[in-house]
Amino acid sequence: MNTKQNYNRWYSVLEGLNQKDYLEIIALDEYYHFCQSKQRLSTEMVMLLNVLKKSKIFCGILTNGFTQQQQKKLDQLGMDLYIEPKWQFISEDLGDTKPNVSCFKKVASQLPAEIAQIYYLGDSYKNDIAPAHLARWNPIWLNRFADEGELLVPQATTNKEVVELLLSKLLTIK
The CATH number linked to 117 is 3.40.50.1000
Contacting residues for 125 by C-beta, under 8 A, at least 6 apart: 141, 143, 147, 148, 149
Q: What pLDDT shows up at residue 170?
A: 86
Predicted pLDDT at 58: 95
Are 12 and 57 found together in one domain? no
Counting as low any pLDDT under 50, the low residues of the chain are none
62 and 24, same structural domain? Answer: no
Domains in the chain: how many in total?
2
- Pair (18, 71) in one structural domain: no
Same domain, 32 and 116: no
* Domain co-membership, 127 together with 73: yes
Say if residue 48 is in the same domain as residue 126: yes
pLDDT confidence of residue 44:
96
Residues 83 and 27 reside in one and the same domain: no
Beta bridge partners of 88: 61
Give 89's strand partners. 62
As a whole number of angstroms, the distance between CA 61 and CA 63 comes to 6
Per residue in 38-58, is it b (16+ CB within 10 Å) or e — as a string? eeebeeebbebbeebeeeeee
Given this model, what pLDDT does residue 128 score? 98
Domain limits for position 14 = 3-36
Do residues 21 and 68 both lie within one domain?
A: no
109 and 60, same structural domain?
Answer: yes
Same domain? For 152 and 67 the reply is yes
Residues 141 and 65 in one domain: yes
What pLDDT, on a 0 to 100 scale, did the predictor assign at position 24? 72
